[in-house]
Structure 1
Amino acid sequence: MIFVLGMINAFAANPAPPSPVGRTRPPPPPPGLPIDENILTMMLVALLFGIYIIYNFKIKQKTPM
């Protein structure tokens, strides 16, 4: 089991960066914005949307007598 995990670790390791010698074009620029820039805003909108959906579902649901 340890041997198999060692092989998986060897294949999952990050490869060495490519050599800059012989490169014909420059590397691409880094991404402009981080993924989680507005994560709190998105979470707040999702929470409010969930409350809205639950509220509408309860209004449409018939209550037993």
Structure 2
Amino acid sequence: MSRCFPFPPPGYEKKARIDNVDLLKKVYILFLYSLYILFDLSFFGDAIMKFILSWIALNVHLNGC
């Protein structure tokens, strides 16, 4: 991409940083569920935090983000 123009040239496609995007999503979901379990087993695990973490994990799983 040229530095002279604020837009990419025709036919230019930005490539993903990682080839296996599904693996990255699975790792992220696993991270969120591990946070959920950590708060569930710890002293600080209150119901609101568990609800927020499970809601985020569910939305990430359903939306594929």
Band the TM-score falls in, shorter-chain normalisation: 0.3 to 0.5
* Structure with the higher fraction of residues in helix conformation: 2
Bigger CA radius of gyration: 1
- The one of the two structures with greater contact order (alpha-carbon pairs below 8 A, sep at least 6) is 2
Structure-2-length-normalised TM-score: 0.38
TM value normalised by structure 1: 0.38
